[in-house]
Amino acid sequence: MEEALSKCRVVLVDFWAEWCGPCRLVEPVVEKISEEYGDKLAVVKINVDENPDVAASFEVYSIPTLLLFHRGKEARRFIGYSPMLYRNITGLLNSYFSSV
């Protein structure tokens, strides 16, 4: 994850767990964003059960949580699933990429 943050202008980090039902709803959203913006951003998936220290270091206490980093800094945090999740994330991404 550190490498992605240092090399990529925009990084989307997905904190999830296998047992998490709402995480399954977020997964296709993250996959679609990765397919559509894959050449412009890095997507990092972090299993909180396997990486509890990483989750704690980013103060992730609920899952699913998506962190959107822009130029190495956390720009936005999305907690839980919403039908508007895709639109909210892509709206931010489009604003970042249009201001190149």
Q: How would DSSP label each residue in 32-88?
A: HHHHHHTTT-EEEEEETTT-HHHHHHTT--SSSEEEEEETTEEEEEEES--TTHHHH
pLDDT tens sequence across 57-68: 999 999 999 999
CATH of the domain at 48: 3.40.30.10
Q: How confident is the model at residue 98 (pLDDT cuts 50, 70, 90)?
A: confident
pLDDT tens sequence across 5-57: 666 689 999 999 999 999 999 999 999 999 999 889 999 999 999 999 999 99
Domain encompassing residue 57: 2-98
Instruction: Examine the residue annotation and report whether 8 is marked as an active-site residue of this protein.
Output: no
Give the pLDDT confidence score for residue 20 in this predicted structure. 98
Q: Which of 10, 20, 33, 55 is catalytic?
A: 20
Q: Which of 8, 10, 12, 23 is catalytic?
A: 23
Instruction: Examine the residue annotation and report whether 20 is marked as an active-site residue of this protein.
Output: yes
Domain total of the chain:
1
Question: Has this prediction a pTM greater than 0.75?
Answer: yes
